[in-house]
Structure 1
Amino acid sequence: MNYTKMRGVEEKLVESIVRRTIDTAEARLRKYVFTPTGEKRPERKPLAKLKEEIESFLRTRENKLLVLYGLRGVGKTTMLAQIYFKLLPQIPRERLVYVSLDKLRPLGISLNYFVQAYERLLGERIEEFSQPTFLFIDEAHYDENFGITVKDLYDSASNLMIVVTGSSSLPLKLDPDLMRRAKKLRVPPLTFTEYLLLKRGLQIPEELSAALKHAFLNCDFSGVEEKLDGVLLKFTEKDVEDYLIQGSLPIYLTSKNPLEDAYEILRKIVEVDLVLEGLSETTREKALGLLLLLASGESLAYDELSSTLGLAKGTVEKLIEKLEDLEVIFPVRAYGSLGKVARKTPKYKFLAPMLRSAVLYEFGLFERDSKTLGMLLEDAVALYLHLLAKEKKLGLHYDAQKGGADFILKGQSRGIVIEVGWGKKGLRQVIKTMKKTGLNCGVVIYNGPLKKKGEVWFVPRELFLLML
């Protein structure tokens, strides 16, 4: 067989794969949108933003690229599936193309080659699409050249919207100029209110969450209890514990053992994502050990981590940096001058608290006790503060002095000192950090009633968790 014939056979094969991909998308995505009994699954809050962008494109044909990124297992594919089913009644099936690049990679088919085959099947060039067309690219980071293809599509396509999903390092791999023009939507782990909605079907009023967020940011919870309207009676302390232990990622909805499945997410991050990030096998072999050290709750400096893991300090820092990029962990840096901050190892928190549970569970160290629950609550509070810091452009720090508070959330004109505890908590640490920083607002998140002592509010943990 000559080269031309061979090329023709290859093209026909790829075209058949593209056709099958389009024809089977509805069946493959159905499980993400509907329960086994056919009921529609509840929708997460970020989906509203995705729907808004889709509707904007249908009206204006602008905003042609949306990048959906976040921690592996956070629910990005589910959101694509939900959008796919919303569009299905109004957009012809052949104009809705869902492709997961982790499925193409073993076949040796690039995204570029897939798109060329799609053009041939449709009988139209990308530049000349006659109707609105959607290309949903899942797991984009599996194709090392996807960024070039996406940029070419964005620059030349007409009537095409591209939605790309991938790990949290995905925006780093796209052309900087393209990223400035693209819409970016970060998908965080589940908040407690989303957990209650997805697991229990309990809808927390948005007005209540907004009131709690306003009260926290302004350090004034006066009158908040009047707005609760019996909400706290609709869930139990066990719901709070279950959320912290295994409810911050959507896998708990369908898994028989959520912590085992969460650990599998971490294994995939180590065995797949860290390979794609360019880390050596020797370094990757130490990744789960590093996560165990962090999950155990000890405050460890880079030098200690280097010694324990048997890796050079620079290698440890590189490994941590990549785990940050993939949003497994995130840093809370010490408060103070740049020089002081540089000398202190950040506190590393798990972005999804259940990842800490999963690591402890895998190594036989998980206990449903106040110490473990306290660490998980601190992770959840850190996640909430992390999201608020990004939304409000605030700095998130911790007080590195002995006996200092857990967190400091600070902007140019205001700031809050926060202490977290599973059980009862006193004022000492908050007051000490307030004096050091000159801030006049303190919040203690604990197990007890809402009350105020001086400039410090004591806020029940479940009340804080209803804020987002």
Structure 2
Amino acid sequence: MDDKTQLILNFLNENISNMPHVLRDNLINNDMKLNCRFEFDEIRESIDDFINGNVLNRFIVLPGIRGVGKTTLLYQAYHYLLNDKRILPEQIIYLSCDDLNNLVDCNIREIVDIYLNNQFNTNLRLLDREIFLLIDESQYDKNWAMSGKIIYDRSEKIFMVFTGSSALNLEYNADVARRMFKRVITPLNYNEHVKLKYDYSNINLGNSLVDLILNGNIEEAIKYENEVNRDLINNIEYRSNDWDEYLRYGGFPILARKINFRRLTANIVDMVEKVVNTDMVSIKNFTFENQTNSNRILRYLALQNAGDLSQNNLAKYLKTSQANVKNILDILEKTHLIFSLEAYGTSSKRTKKTKKYYFATSSIRNALSIKSGNTIKDIKQYEGILLENLVASILFNLTQREDNYFTLYYDTNKKKNVDFILQQDFKNPVPIEVGRGKKDKKQITHAINYYGADYGIIISDTTNNIEKHGNIIYISPKTFSFL
């Protein structure tokens, strides 16, 4: 046995022996078992299907920005296999490619071959027992997608979950995509936040809000909004300022466990820097100079309104080309730190108009603003900017779900523009206005008439409950955050 093989086996065997301690340390907080994200239900169902003989959905890929709980999902899957399904420890391979990469070059397929040969004296084609492969930080194997494809094709006995940074979105082809189920792990909406923090959720409110946004139906949403408000008031652990904390620091599971906001802010800034300095560096031809440019662009975005980005001015400020600025913005989008919206209108208008950029969460914007020295002194104005980002990110995440076929745009009407235009198939558009401390209906009324909309939506903290006056629907930001 060569030294590399021995290193890999030692690493895997140590992982197996240490997992009971790892699970206890990471899944228990204050003697209480951590609650699960909704995505865990999908993983659990896929595991059950696989054990019951369904071998189709056995390659799951979970990309997402750092800190959204991907590693915890793997630990919870491991715990479920070990304790609920009574799978033997030697049939579960948990591996962090990041950790292994510090010892040897990480190659997932090679690791599986070595383990099967030494543990069971077999190979992929001859494997006669179920193996569960839980791979974290998969992007550290440059050929992770091909490794998954080969394992998938050569054995129906292996169930795989690969997690990693959003850099996973950068390197796989259509042939691999046909074999895997990809589920982007997005930042937490408020429903997921209260589920983790207070062990309470109301999926019915989220579903009814989708119906409200897309079809203008408010009856079910009002019913479940009242139910949620009543439940939270009666929850003795729920704090009245919880949503305000979520606006500034939410989106990441860590908020459910810590209340030191200075440390939370530092953690978010560190996460952003790791994405730029580690994940983006792994991308071919991404230079050290562009690492610096990326950090500067992010801080620039954090101190501007979403529509105030001029790529020409930014290129001059960074002393680089507009093409390079565009390239950096495109890569930042692929890592899911930021996302962009195009202008509403014809394809020609969308091509000519500058995109608007938003952060994946309002908390990322808040953290970078604090780090960079926020220049906005009007608290209502600042909270309004954070709220616009929050609404944009929740709606954008909704567009990424497979069962929702609509697109989100920004409004280019110069006189009385609203914040967003939502377009679903061939239906009339839905204008959406966001405000902190205002309930002016002039802009939304103009947009409804200008675009021929059936109704418009105002998301404002001047209302506590869903209301409909004529063809305008009012929603509070807190309720909207359950979407």
TM-aligned CA deviation for residue 410 of structure 1: 0.7
Q: Give the 3-state SS of the residue equivalent to 2:323 in structure 1.
A: helix
Contact 2:167/2:280 (<8 A) preserved: no
Match of 1:388 in 2: 398
Most deviating of 80-89 and 165-174: 165-174
Encode CA deviations 1:96-147: one digit per residue, 9 max, x unaligned.
1110111111212322332232123212212222221101111111121222
Q: Is the 8 A contact 1:297 1:375 kept in 2?
A: no
Whole-Å separation in 2 of the counterparts to 1:271 and 1:447 = 38
Q: What is the aligned partner in structure 1 of residue 339 from structure 2?
A: 330
Deviations 1:376-402 (A, max 9, x none): 211221122113323311011011222
Which is worse superposed, 318-327 or 429-438? 429-438
The answer to whether the Cα contact below 8 Å between 2:380 and 2:436 also exists between their aligned partners in 1 is yes
Equivalent residue in structure 2 for 1:436, among 429, 450, 466: 450
Structure 1 residue 259: deviation in Å? Answer: 0.9
Asked if the contact 1:419–1:444 (Cα under 8 Å) also holds between the matched residues in 2, the reply is: yes
**Structure 2: distance between partners of 1:260 and 1:439:** 43
Which of 449, 452, 455 is residue 471 of structure 2 equivalent to? 455
Q: Does 1:46 align with 2:52?
A: no
1:58-457 equivalence runs, <5 A = 58-62=51-55, 63-89=57-83, 90-111=86-107, 112-122=109-119, 123-201=121-199, 203-222=200-219, 224-229=221-226, 231-232=228-229, 234=233, 238-255=241-258, 256=260, 257-278=263-284, 279-298=286-305, 299-365=308-374, 369-391=379-401, 392-402=404-414, 403-411=416-424, 412-449=426-463, 450-457=466-473
Give yes or no for contact 1:74–1:189 (8 Å, CA) kept in 2: yes
The letter of the residue matching 2:417 is G
User: The residue matched to 1:414 in structure 2 has which SS?
Assistant: coil
Residue pair 1:135, 1:162 contacting (<8 A) in 2 also: yes
Q: CA deviation at 1:303?
A: 1.2
Q: Following TM superposition, by how much is the alpha carbon of 1:230 offset from its aligned partner in structure 2, in angstroms?
A: 5.4
Which of the residues 48, 51, 57 maps onto 2:50?
A: 57
Which has the larger displacement, 275-284 or 317-326?
Answer: 275-284
Residue equivalent to 1:3:
none
Q: Which segment is superposed worse, 210-219 or 388-397?
A: 210-219
Helix, strand or coil for the counterpart of 1:83? Answer: helix
Q: Within 1, Cα distance between the matches of 2:327 and 2:81?
A: 42
CA distance in 2, matches of 1:358, 1:214: 33
Contact 1:67 1:171 in 2 (8 A): no
The answer for unaligned runs of 5 or more in structure 2 is none
Cα distance in structure 1, aligned partners of 2:91 and 2:378: 50
Task: Indicate the SS of the match to 1:448.
Answer: coil
In structure 2, do the counterparts of structure 1 residues 309 and 451 end up closer, same or farther at CA, with 3 Å as the change threshold?
A: same
Find the aligned partners of 1:431 and 1:422 in 2 and give their Cα distance. 18
5+ long unaligned stretches in structure 1? 1-6
CA contact 1:133–1:160 (8 Å) conserved in 2:
yes
**Segment of structure 1 superposing worse, 386-395 or 287-296:** 386-395
8 Å contact kept, 2:152–2:179? no
Given that 2:343 and 2:350 are in contact with CA atoms closer than 8 Å, whether structure 1 keeps it comes out as: yes
Contact 1:251/1:261, CA 8 A, preserved across alignment? no
Helix, strand or coil for the counterpart of 1:413?
coil
Q: Which range is displaced more, 189-198 or 380-389?
A: 380-389
| Native 8 Å contact 2:193 2:256 kept in 1 | no
Separation in structure 2 between the aligned mates of residue 293 and residue 263 of structure 1, nearest angstrom:
14
Kindly tell me the number of residue pairs found equivalent between the two proteins. Answer: 459
For the 8 Å contact 2:145–2:176, the answer to whether it is kept is no
